[in-house]
Amino acid sequence: MDSQYNYDPLPETSLMTRIIRLKPATDFCTTLQCEIVTTDLDNGNGPILEYEAISYTWEGQNPSPAHYILCRCKDGGLSRLDITANSDAALRRVRLRHEDRYIWMDAVSINQSDKEEKQRQIAYMGYVYTFAKRVLVCLGESVARDGLLTIEYIKKIANHDLATTARPDLERLFDDICKSSKAQKSIESGRNWSLMQEFFSHPWFTRVWTLQEI
Res 119: pLDDT: 92
H-helix or E-strand containing 14? none
Phi, psi of 21 (to 5 degrees): -90, 90
Per residue in 30-87, pLDDT (tens digit) is 999 999 999 988 766 666 789 999 988 777 678 889 999 999 998 889 999 999 999 9
Q: How far is CA 14 from CA 38, 49, 122, 127, 213, in A?
A: 12, 15, 14, 12, 21
Dihedral (CA of 101, 105, 121, 207) sign: positive
Neighbours of 4 (CB within 10 A): 12
Could you tell me if 128 and 47 are in contact, meaning their C-beta atoms sit under 8 angstroms apart? no
CA separation (Å) from 25 to 53, 65, 179?
A: 20, 21, 44
Spatial separation of the C-alpha atoms in residues 104 and 19, rounded to whole Å = 5
* pLDDT single digits (tens) 145-196: 666 667 666 666 555 555 555 555 555 655 665 555 455 555 445 666 677 7
Whether 24 and 98 have beta carbons less than 8 Å apart is answered as yes
- Our measurement of the distance from residue 73's CA atom to the centroid of its chain's CA atoms, rounded to an integer in Å, reads 24
Q: Which position has the higher pLDDT, 88 or 187?
A: 88
Name the pTM for this structure. Answer: 0.74
